[in-house]
Homo-oligomer: A and B are copies of this chain.
């Protein structure tokens, strides 16, 4: 069978990794796919650099539309990134009847509904294994490996930059700013790290996993997005003493109505990214540095975990090429035999909403800076009890330990059982108003993940 011809849009880090791995392992890949896979055309603004990377046998152009217009190209790899020109080019490639492989989580999390619909109308594939957790084949696991299951929840360390920073904070007792500087110096964080440290990148990926897991449209605009910039070394230390690690998790969960919700009829999907306490004994709590891991809980399979490199040229190329092999295998088959873009057949998607944060149910870590005097704990406990929130564990530091000898304030650390976030918000307002609570209360969500 003739080799399938592929056009590459954007030859940066991942693009050149993809080109290199396809070359190096071409024989192995052909033995698996049953046909060759060749990048025969590359578009990049920097044509000189692109030519130097791919050599003289590959056509290099400055205009991506020349790739899309080439009738010999069957598959277009989009590695430009962002929502702008990438969206236009992906839609044009689909309109031209090309299959698309992309690593662009931002694009799909925001414009996925439009793009997948266009692809379905045209009968082409849009493959995006590289968009979530780099080289880990998590999209394949969710869409194909766990099809027997009602997925219950997914929790992922899906941003390497923030996991690296959190590992540094814990290992070296650093505060966020110092750890970020380390990460930038070592190349784990970009000069403008906003998308990573504010949780936006993780939320894009969580949005995609949520859609695939539950058969719902992508709803990035409804995701709760909270980064790690406010996290203090103190809380990492207290969490450790209580048997927990703090990780930035992308979390999504199916909710079917629950006695804790304001109304028993509340059904929907939780979709949230925030720092999270995780029991130290869980495997995912021990994922360190820039590594990624995703935990998936299904009703039949139970808890499964997928671990690997979430970024970098060759790990991401590994996912891009796996998609190319899938596309090469199925390019000539009729579309109904293919795996649906979002795991469920387009006609069988459900319009389930993402729940507002007041309706989510989780447990909490609270740190209160309180006056070191009698009765404080009783007042705090009463407010929580009145809100229907029960305390799971409590850590009270001696005032001297916290503020030095003669200090009149101390830290009160509380772990709660599960509660509705709306109830917790109400209780926090009351707690914050107590005259004996001397500083803004720190609240970090906690998931047991068992």
* A interface, CB within 8 angstroms of B: 1, 17, 21-22, 24-25, 28-34, 129, 135-137, 140-141, 143-150, 215, 283, 286-287, 298-309, 314-315, 317-322, 325-326, 329-330, 332-334, 336-340, 343-345, 348
The answer to whether B150 touches A146, judged by C-beta atoms less than 8 angstroms apart, is no
Per the bound structure, the CA–CA distance linking A145 and B132 in Å amounts to 13
Contacts A32-B147, A283-B286 known; 20 new A-B pairs at CB < 8 A: A1-B336, A25-B150, A28-B150, A31-B344, A32-B143, A32-B215, A32-B343, A34-B345, A129-B145, A135-B304, A137-B140, A146-B322, A148-B318, A283-B287, A300-B314, A301-B308, A302-B314, A305-B308, A306-B306, A337-B337
Per the bound structure, the CA–CA distance linking A334 and B331 in Å amounts to 12
The answer to whether B304 touches A305, judged by C-beta atoms less than 8 angstroms apart, is no
The answer to whether B144 touches A137, judged by C-beta atoms less than 8 angstroms apart, is yes
What residues of chain B lie closer than 8 Å to A348, measured between beta carbons? 30-32, 34
The answer to whether B137 touches A141, judged by C-beta atoms less than 8 angstroms apart, is yes
What are some 15 contacts across the A-B interface (CB < 8 A)? A24-B150, A28-B149, A29-B147, A31-B215, A31-B344, A31-B345, A135-B302, A140-B144, A141-B141, A146-B318, A303-B308, A304-B306, A305-B305, A306-B307, A332-B337
What residues of chain B lie closer than 8 Å to A298, measured between beta carbons? 318
The answer to whether A149 touches B25, judged by C-beta atoms less than 8 angstroms apart, is yes
The distance from the CB of A449 to the nearest CB of chain B, in whole angstroms, is 13
The answer to whether B315 touches A301, judged by C-beta atoms less than 8 angstroms apart, is yes
Closest 5 CB pairs of A and B: A137-B145, A148-B321, A304-B308, A31-B348, A135-B301
Select which of B21, B34, B283, B301 is within 8 A of A300 by beta carbon: B21
Per the bound structure, the CA–CA distance linking A24 and B299 in Å amounts to 10
The answer to whether B337 touches A333, judged by C-beta atoms less than 8 angstroms apart, is yes
What residues of chain B lie closer than 8 Å to A32, measured between beta carbons? 143, 147, 215, 340, 343-345, 348
Per the bound structure, the CA–CA distance linking A320 and B148 in Å amounts to 8
The answer to whether A34 touches B317, judged by C-beta atoms less than 8 angstroms apart, is no
What residues of chain B lie closer than 8 Å to A215, measured between beta carbons? 28, 31-32
The answer to whether A318 touches B25, judged by C-beta atoms less than 8 angstroms apart, is no
Per the bound structure, the CA–CA distance linking A348 and B35 in Å amounts to 11
What residues of chain B lie closer than 8 Å to A338, measured between beta carbons? 329
What residues of chain B lie closer than 8 Å to A31, measured between beta carbons? 215, 344-345, 348
